[in-house]
């Protein structure tokens, strides 16, 4: 029988699989960094106090991308092209989740409604990222090659999630509560579909690289579909609840720099 830890260990032990994994991760983080940078530049005057926090969020995402690329360099590997069907962040944008890139490329101030859309999108996707990092930190936090990177990224994701909770609650108190709940629900229900499809695509590529037996691949695909059904039945609600975090003003400082991993 296999577990999430054993599957990731297989990926970690194979250069081609690890190369694809890090390339997908680095690409997604780089896109997140760009999006946050543009949003920070276009924040409406009524929400200008958010700009430094959004900038910090983007800096963290850029840092994560550099970390994944450094992990590749450490093994003398280069980033590879990310298959379209595995590009989570691009597919979210293509399906209208979050703020459209066309809007972000224009030099026009965003609206408060846009900020609600951005924070709701971040609330959902940061929950997904935090959940993944909990698993990786538990299994590989003390790993000699990737443990330091995992621990740093996991800490940042905790900060991002806390920030989303706090800022959405602030906006809810300012009268945006119904819009926030509707946007969170719409975003979460769309995200779980995309996450399922991307997970199936990534596992398909890994199965080919690692030459998994058909039976093993079938079990993994079934597990991904079962997780989607559980999320569709109610698991998505963990992505839309809001509570004041213990860690307040989590993005109020300056971004930490990435240590040199290569």
Q: Report pTM.
A: 0.93
Residue 214 has pLDDT above 80, yes or no: yes
Predicted confidence (pLDDT) per residue in 120-144, tens digit? 999 999 999 999 999 999 989 888 8
Residue 258 has pLDDT above 60, yes or no: no
With both helix axes pointing from N to C terminus, report the angle between 177-210 and 214-233 in degrees, rounded to the nearest 10: 170
Enumerate the H helices of the chain as residue ranges.
4-13, 15-42, 51-74, 88-94, 101-105, 112-140, 147-171, 177-210, 214-233
Residue 41 has pLDDT above 90, yes or no: yes
Cβ neighbors of 205 (< 8 A, separation 6 or more) are: 20, 83, 86
Architecture of domain 4-239: Up-down Bundle (1.20)
Q: What is the mean pLDDT of residues 238-260?
A: 82
Give the residue from 215, 200, 197, 223 showing the smallest Cα distance to 3. 223
Q: pLDDT band for 254, please (50, 70, 90 cuts).
A: low
The C-alpha angle with vertex 192 and arms to 198 and 215, in degrees rounded to 5, equals 50
Predicted confidence (pLDDT) per residue in 142-158, tens digit? 888 899 999 999 999 99
Average model confidence (pLDDT) for the chain?
A: 94
**pLDDT above 70 coverage of the chain, percent:** 95
Distance, CA of 182 to CA of 176 (rounded, Å): 10
Predicted confidence (pLDDT) per residue in 62-81, tens digit? 999 999 999 999 999 999 99
Residue 20 has pLDDT above 90, yes or no: yes
**pLDDT above 90 coverage of the chain, percent:** 91
Report how far Cα 219 is from the mean position of its chain's Cα atoms: 25
Residue 260 has pLDDT above 50, yes or no: no
């Amino acid at each position: 029988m296999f577990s999430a830890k054993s599957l990731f260990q297989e990926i970690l032990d194979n250069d081609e699989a690890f190369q694809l994994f890090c390339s997908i991760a680095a690409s997604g983080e780089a896109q997140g960094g760009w999006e946050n940078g543009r949003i920070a530049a276009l924040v409406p005057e009524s929400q200008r106090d958010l700009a430094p926090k959004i900038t910090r969020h983007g800096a963290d995402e850029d840092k994560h991308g550099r970390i994944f690329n450094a992990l590749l360099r450490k093994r003398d590997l280069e980033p590879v092209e990310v298959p379209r069907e595995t590009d989570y962040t691009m597919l979210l944008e293509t399906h209208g989740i979050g703020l459209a890139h066309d809007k972000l490329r224009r030099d026009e101030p965003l609206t408060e409604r846009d900020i609600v859309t951005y924070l709701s999108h971040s609330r959902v996707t940061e929950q997904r990222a935090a959940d993944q990092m909990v698993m990786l930190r538990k299994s590989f936090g003390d790993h000699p090659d990737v443990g330091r990177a995992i621990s740093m990224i996991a800490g940042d994701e905790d900060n991002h999630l806390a920030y989303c909770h706090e800022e959405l609650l602030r906006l809810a108190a300012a009268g945006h509560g119904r819009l926030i709940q509707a946007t969170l629900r719409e975003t979460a229900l769309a995200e779980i579909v995309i996450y399922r499809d991307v997970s199936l695509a990534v596992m398909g590529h890994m199965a080919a690289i690692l030459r998994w037996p058909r039976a093993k691949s079938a079990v993994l695909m079934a597990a991904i579909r079962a997780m989607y059904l559980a999320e569709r039945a109610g698991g998505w609600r963990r992505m839309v609840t809001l509570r004041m975090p213990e860690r307040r003003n989590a993005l109020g400082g300056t971004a930490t720099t990435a240590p040199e991993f290569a």
